[in-house]
Amino acid sequence: MNNDIDFEGYTCPIPIKPKDTVVLGHGSGGKLSHDLINRLFLPEFGKAAPRALDDSAIVNINGQRLALTTDSHVVSPLFFPGGDIGRLAICGTVNDLAMVGAKPIALTCGFVIEEGLSFEILQRVVQSMRDSAAEAGVYIAAGDTKVVQKGSADKLFINTAGIGFVESDVNISGANAQVDDVVIISGTLGDHGIAVMSAREGLNFETDLQSDVAPLNHLIAAMMNAGEIHVLRDPTRGGLATTLNEIAIQSNLTIELQETALPVKPQVHAACEMLGFDPLYVANEGKLVAFVKPENAENILLAMRQTKYGEGAAIIGKVIKTNSPQVRLRTAIGGTRLIDMLPGEMLPRIC
């Protein structure tokens, strides 16, 4: 059993700051999350590596490259316009695999259930998982269920982990952005975060907005057929702003966005005005950002627009060389402002 096993870095997509206790912001996907990763998890579990911020780790087993990832889901409420915790759990892990160019193969699911949850709710969630897995073309291969006393968990948490197969010639990573790369988004920003907020107790506001939660692996397969891709990332917790800052740091480059090019639905715009949010920081669950060479952009955009989840694909910016990694926004009136990671917590339990 002396297998040829090797790791392309350690990856820990989320999480310490030397404060006394964990705060909600440590789960935000933003700055505090990155502190937690860098100060607590990476020193114990593995060295910071190029892939440490990617959505999946890549493990080489006997010459075969396998992507490996995990995501726990604690969204509240369990059902929201356009989706539910089950669809989120499947799509989140499928997408994390697909974002390193892997073909998702199999998932595991771990349920932590609060005593007293109705079977009808659990069944609806499980059926939604089944349907989402079928859409993505992945298998649910193993499962586990724990039940805790009433008050020891909030209804239902679901962890999904997944494995995918990565072709030997695929090299997609947040560390691979290059100067002059074009930045493409697959559709509108902030739909998921605002849809969940609209369903949240005490915060109800009228909107016909649906979450964008969707499996993006078929979209990515079409993109990979259309041209070489340097970076893929789904802007979930922390939004596009946080995701682009991660990529800027990993690749040590600057990303410049055009404010007028950012696609945002009127309902999301209106809700963000009302709540004091910026769509750049609101979570998406069915969108991706891609970095490609300028000469490949048109082909890849066309391929994206022919797929269900890429119809609204648009070029939103480019990569430029500077002295320190950053994300800049060229505003509608011609100014420039720096876009930082999400500093604290904006929307707890959004996924």
203 part of the interface to a copy of itself, by CB under 8 A: no
Pairing mode of beta strands 5-7, 139-148: unpaired
Chosen residue from 163, 209, 216, 290 binding a copy of itself by CB under 8 A: 163
Pairing mode of beta strands 326-330, 254-258: parallel
The encoded tokens of residue 54 equal 């990617």
145 part of the interface to a copy of itself, by CB under 8 A: yes
Chosen residue from 82, 87, 111, 234 binding a copy of itself by CB under 8 A: 111
CB 327 within 8 Å of CB 241: yes
Q: Which of residues 166-195 bind a copy of itself (CB under 8 A)?
A: 167
148 part of the interface to a copy of itself, by CB under 8 A: yes
Report how far residue 138's alpha carbon sits from residue 179's, in angstroms, rounded to the nearest whole number.
Answer: 35
φ/ψ of 143, rounded to 5, equals -145, 165
129 part of the interface to a copy of itself, by CB under 8 A: yes
Please, what is the minimum distance in Å from the beta carbon of residue 158 to a copy of itself? 9
Nearer to a copy of itself, 54 or 181 (CB): 54
**Helix residue ranges, H only, 252-333:** 266-275, 294-305
61 part of the interface to a copy of itself, by CB under 8 A: yes
Chosen residue from 38, 77, 81, 126 binding a copy of itself by CB under 8 A: 126
Q: How far apart are the first and last CA of the chain?
A: 39
CB neighbours of 169 closer than 8 A, spacing ≥ 6? none
Report how far residue 282's alpha carbon sits from residue 240's, in angstroms, rounded to the nearest whole number.
Answer: 8
Nearer to a copy of itself, 15 or 193 (CB): 15
Choose the stretch contacting a copy of itself; rule: CB under 8 A; options: 156-164, 193-201, 265-273, 304-312. 156-164
Binding mask 222-251 for a copy of itself (x = CB under 8 A): ------------------------------
The encoded tokens of residue 52 equal 């440490």
CA geometry: angle 117, 86, 159, nearest 5 deg: 85
132 part of the interface to a copy of itself, by CB under 8 A: no
Enumerate the β-bridge partners of residue 111.
145, 158
Choose the stretch contacting a copy of itself; rule: CB under 8 A; options: 2-10, 175-183, 190-198, 331-339. 2-10
φ/ψ of 197, rounded to 5, equals -60, -40
314 part of the interface to a copy of itself, by CB under 8 A: no
Q: Which of residues 10-29 bind a copy of itself (CB under 8 A)?
A: 10-16, 18-28
Chosen residue from 38, 72, 178, 207 binding a copy of itself by CB under 8 A: 72
Please, what is the minimum distance in Å from the beta carbon of residue 174 to a copy of itself? 14
Enumerate the β-bridge partners of residue 5.
61
Nearer to a copy of itself, 142 or 332 (CB): 142
331 part of the interface to a copy of itself, by CB under 8 A: no
Report how far residue 66's alpha carbon sits from residue 346's, in angstroms, rounded to the nearest whole number.
Answer: 34
Chosen residue from 109, 288, 313, 316 binding a copy of itself by CB under 8 A: 109
Nearer to a copy of itself, 3 or 324 (CB): 3
For 298-321, b/e burial (b = at least 16 CB within 10 A) is: eebbebbeebebbeebbbbbbbee
CB atoms within 10 A of CB 42: 19
Nearer to a copy of itself, 18 or 334 (CB): 18
Report how far residue 13's alpha carbon sits from residue 34's, in angstroms, rounded to the nearest whole number.
Answer: 8
Nearer to a copy of itself, 63 or 335 (CB): 63
Choose the stretch contacting a copy of itself; rule: CB under 8 A; options: 129-137, 180-188, 199-207, 265-273. 129-137
Chosen residue from 79, 81, 108, 228 binding a copy of itself by CB under 8 A: 108
Report how far residue 257's alpha carbon sits from residue 280's, in angstroms, rounded to the nearest whole number.
Answer: 11
